[in-house]
């Protein structure tokens, strides 16, 4: 689903009070299509601009951007012109999907220059362009060279930037008379918004609707909109602002475009499949080994009735010691009675040894499956930095190869998600490295530990001197929302003091046992979590 001009209109209104007069402190390009401007305006905002072919978007992200060791050329150019620049204005071009950031910065001579950062959100044709005040292109993310087609815009440095043709479309925010209005001619109005206008039978009523960013699920399809649309039935999730809604909607697309994510997911899934095959083979071996457990009795019976057995016999039937049953015992005619007896004793000893070894291997294999299934679960909730930590962990366990020999620091909280209220701090471990660090190194014995009952989830550390219902519910929401139960209801979340937590020895991952726990049942909801954290 694409972003339309109606959403851009309200998104720009959302950006203005937060970003205008803010200073660009850092510019980070995580990959070929995604660039983040860290803007400080009393607090720091991460303005994400993505020109992804499948999910172009612009929003204020809560995630900390991943900075590669070697910056991209585009990033270096943007840093040259825009670093320490101040955003003086943000505008939408009519109701088109175009946002222009007016940025004031100093050049190498110390002169103040006005630049324009133009964001075009137009599906596969989306682009990011930096121009000077007179719209001469300085740099562009996706270059379009001169073409014989008259309709093709030139997008190369030093060319003159031109806005896309209007094609006779009308800005809906400038219409004063709705008589004989052709809705199909409205600029930047998606089909589902056109349906709402028809449903309300009024463009003005549509535009005057209160802003309530909403994702609506309809028949396995999701629609995001700045309004709570009355014309569409479906499950709704509401958000405090448009950026939060867009980040939630596009989070899976962001992961799928990350080569690390798809590679790790495939490797771990393949490894799990192989381990389940190994379980089947071990169970077959165990069944075969158990079939020889009564060879001890057979050997003892041969020993007792040795006088009845002659070399050359192929079998003999002997009564059990309690005379309740009979055993048909096969014999090797080429072996003496004593050798046949020894054969059954040896088979029994091998069976006991194999039984012990196979059960140990089954336990190890089941633990490894549990560990890798936890990794798969964690992949659903990680950002790029946390994904790098999972990659490093899998390298340490020899599950994937170490290609760059880069190590991830685990003795700091820089990459760990943190929330604060006036009387509490919440830390969210989204992978095993973070969970182990938080639970076994960072947390104090009187901190509280939260985890979804009997299921993989984030380890939540709550630091507070006031364990009230609100803080418990925040921590429980964080645990449930970072688990496979994020869309379930009545999720059981256990919590206890850190001093009651013990790591399971010789188990990969972050598996623990705990005592003296209490359980809260929660209906996971981002909307409810934001309300609980509001104004904090």
Residue 86 near residue 23, CB atoms below 8 Å: yes
Task: Dump pLDDT digits (tens) for 317-359.
Answer: 999 888 888 888 999 999 999 999 999 999 899 899 888 999 9
Strand, coil or helix: what is 493? strand
Residue 531: per-residue pLDDT: 85
pLDDT at 130: 97
Structural element, H or E, at residue 340: helix 337-379
Residue 460 has pLDDT above 90, yes or no: yes
Query: pLDDT for 9-28, tens place per residue?
Result: 999 999 999 999 999 999 99
Contacts of 271 (CB under 8 A, 6+ apart): 372, 399
Span 156-172, pLDDT tens digits: 999 999 999 888 899 99
pLDDT at 237 over 60: yes
- Interval 25-39: pLDDT, tens: 999 998 888 999 999
Global pTM exceeds 0.85 = no
- Separation in Å, CA 247 to CA 60, 63, 380, 477: 8, 9, 14, 18
Q: Lowest-confidence range among 67-81, 147-161, 230-244, 367-381?
A: 147-161
**C-beta separation of 497 from 447 below 8 A:** yes
Residue 288: its H or E element = helix 259-290
- Are the beta carbons of 342 and 349 closer than 8 angstroms? no
**CA 4, 6, 8, 10 torsion: positive or negative?**
negative
Arithmetic mean of pLDDT, 516-528: 91
Q: What is the mean pLDDT of the chain?
A: 88
- Nearest Cα to 371, choosing from 394, 352, 392? 394
Three-state SS at 426:
strand
Q: Phi/psi class of residue 292: alpha, beta or left (left: φ > 0; alpha: ψ in -120 to 50)?
A: alpha
Report which of 292, 429, 442 is spatially closest to residue 374, judged by C-alpha positions: 429
N-terminal to C-terminal alpha carbon distance within the chain: 32
Considering only 237-251, 256-270, 406-420, which range has the smallest mean pLDDT? Answer: 406-420
**pLDDT single digits (tens) 167-208:** 889 999 999 888 888 999 999 999 999 999 999 999 999 999
Closest C-alpha to 10, from 145, 173, 211? 211
pLDDT (0 to 100) of residue 188: 93
Of the pLDDT bands very low, low, confident and very high (cuts 50, 70, 90), residue 404 is low
The CA-CA-CA angle for residues 357, 363, 368, to 5°, reads 125
* Dihedral sign (CA 186, 189, 191, 192): negative
Report the percent of the chain where pLDDT is more than 90.
Answer: 54
Indicate the pLDDT class of residue 68, thresholds 50, 70 and 90: confident
What phi and psi values does residue 101 have, to the nearest 5 degrees? -95, 120
Contact between 90 and 96 (Cβ < 8 Å): no
Residue 319 φ then ψ, to 5°: -75, 150
pLDDT, tens digit, 9 for 90 and up, residues 405-433: 444 444 445 568 889 898 999 999 988 88
Of 523, 413, 422, 516, the residue nearest 461 (C-alpha): 413
Q: How does DSSP assign 223-255, residue by residue? A: EEESS--SS--SEEEE-SSHHHHHHHHHHHHHH
Residue 313 has pLDDT above 60, yes or no: yes
- Tens digits of per-residue pLDDT, 84-108? 999 999 999 999 999 999 999 998 8
Residue 254 — pLDDT band, cuts 50, 70, 90? Answer: low
- Show the domains of the chain with their CATH numbers: 5-140 (2.30.310.10), 172-252 (no CATH), 262-379 (1.10.287.370), 417-533 (no CATH)
Mean pLDDT of 117-131: 94
Cβ-Cβ contacts under 8 Å for 465 (sequence gap 6 or more): 423
Q: If you search the block for the tokens 């598996």, which residue do you land on?
A: 511
3 state SS of 132: coil
> For 310-321, what is the mean pLDDT?
90
């Amino acid at each position: 689903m694409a972003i339309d001009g109606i959403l851009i209109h309200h998104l720009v209104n959302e950006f203005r009070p937060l970003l205008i007069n803010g200073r660009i402190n850092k510019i980070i390009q995580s990959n070929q299509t995604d660039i983040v401007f860290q803007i400080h305006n009393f607090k720091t905002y991460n303005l994400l601009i993505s020109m992804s072919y499948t999910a172009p978007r612009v929003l204020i992200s809560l995630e900390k951007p991943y900075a590669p060791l070697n910056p991209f050329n585009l990033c270096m150019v943007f840093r040259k012109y825009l670093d320490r620049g101040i955003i003086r204005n943000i505008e939408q071009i009519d109701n088109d999907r175009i946002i222009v950031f007016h940025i004031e910065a100093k050049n190498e001579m110390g002169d103040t220059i006005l630049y324009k950062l133009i964001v075009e959100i137009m599906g596969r044709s989306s682009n990011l362009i930096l121009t000077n005040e007179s719209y001469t292109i300085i740099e562009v993310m996706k270059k379009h060279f001169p073409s014989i087609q008259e309709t093709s815009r030139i997008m190369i440095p030093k060319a003159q930037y031109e806005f896309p043709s209007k094609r006779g479309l009308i800005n809906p925010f400038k219409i004063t008379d709705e008589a004989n209005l052709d809705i199909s001619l409205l600029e930047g109005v998606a089909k589902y918004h056109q349906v709402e206008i028809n449903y309300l039978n009024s463009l003005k009523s549509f535009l005057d609707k209160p802003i309530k960013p909403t994702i609506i699920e309809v028949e396995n399809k999701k629609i995001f909109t700045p309004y709570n649309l009355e014309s569409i039935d479906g499950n709704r999730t509401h958000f405090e602002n448009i950026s939060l809604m867009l980040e939630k909607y596009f989070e899976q697309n962001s992961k799928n475009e990350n080569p690390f994510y798809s590679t790790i997911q495939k490797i771990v899934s393949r490894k799990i499949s192989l381990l389940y095959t190994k379980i089947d083979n071990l169970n077959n071996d165990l069944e075969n080994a158990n079939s020889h457990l009564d060879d001890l009795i057979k050997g003892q019976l041969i020993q007792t009735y040795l006088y009845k057995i002659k070399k050359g016999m192929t079998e003999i039937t002997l009564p059990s010691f309690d005379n309740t049953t009979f055993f048909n015992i096969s014999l090797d005619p080429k072996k003496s009675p004593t050798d046949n007896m020894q054969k059954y004793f040896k088979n029994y000893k091998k069976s006991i040894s194999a039984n012990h070894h196979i059960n140990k291997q089954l336990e190890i294999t089941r633990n490894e499956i549990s560990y890798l299934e936890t990794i798969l679960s964690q992949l659903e909730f990680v950002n790029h930095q946390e994904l790098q930590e999972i990659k490093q962990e899998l390298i340490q366990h020899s599950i994937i190869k170490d290609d760059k020999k880069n190590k991830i620091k685990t003795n700091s909280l820089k990459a760990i998600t943190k929330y604060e209220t006036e009387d509490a701090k919440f830390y969210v471990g989204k992978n095993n490295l973070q969970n182990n660090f938080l639970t076994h190194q960072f947390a104090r014995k009187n901190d509280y530990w939260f985890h979804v009952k009997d299921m993989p989830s984030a380890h939540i550390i709550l630091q507070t001197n006031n364990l009230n219902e609100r803080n418990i519910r925040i921590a429980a929401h964080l645990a449930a929302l970072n688990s496979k139960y994020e869309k379930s209801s009545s999720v059981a979340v256990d919590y206890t003091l850190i001093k009651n937590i013990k790591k399971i020895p010789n188990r990969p991952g972050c598996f623990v046992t705990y005592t003296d726990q209490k359980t809260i049942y929660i209906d996971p909801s981002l909307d409810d979590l934001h309300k609980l954290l509001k104004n904090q």
